[in-house]
Amino acid sequence: MREDDIATEHSGGVLVVEMRGEPDIDAVRQRTGALEAAVCELPGPPLLVLDLGKLEFLSVRGVRGLQDVIERCRTRRIAGCLIVPPGSEVERVVRLTGLAGRVPVFPHRLLAIARYQPVEMRWLPR
């Protein structure tokens, strides 16, 4: 994974990480520390959104890396979820590996962010 294969943006307690290309477990793990540090600096309650919409391929090792990132966030009380386009090859891998059963998966960023909004701020139906 090259440096330009990942893009981040954050606002209001949400860190969105858009992954591109073909990440492997080593590339995901390299970014884990930086992602965790960035999430911890956000105002609470923090949320990490891993957007896989522009991935060309996701290996089983990459799935393990993503699961590790989410689990590490959970231990720090940071919510995490995945954005996976329905019907994509990545969605198929996420479903077949069982990752979708362990990590919340959404088809779009707005739905994910709205799901984690405090009730008084929620503007989209659940």
Average pLDDT over residues 70-97: 91
- Give the chain's end-to-end CA distance (angstroms, integer): 35
Domains and CATH numbers, the chain: 3-121 (3.30.750.24)
Choose among 7, 17, 5: nearest CA to 112: 17
Amino acid 120 reads E
Average pLDDT over residues 3-24: 72
The C-alpha angle with vertex 96 and arms to 25 and 83, in degrees rounded to 5, equals: 65
Contacts of 75 (CB under 8 A, 6+ apart): none
pTM for this prediction = 0.80
Q: Which residue has the tokens 């779009």?
A: 108
Could you report the per-residue pLDDT of 47-79, keeping only the tens digit for each? Answer: 889 999 998 888 888 888 888 888 888 888 888
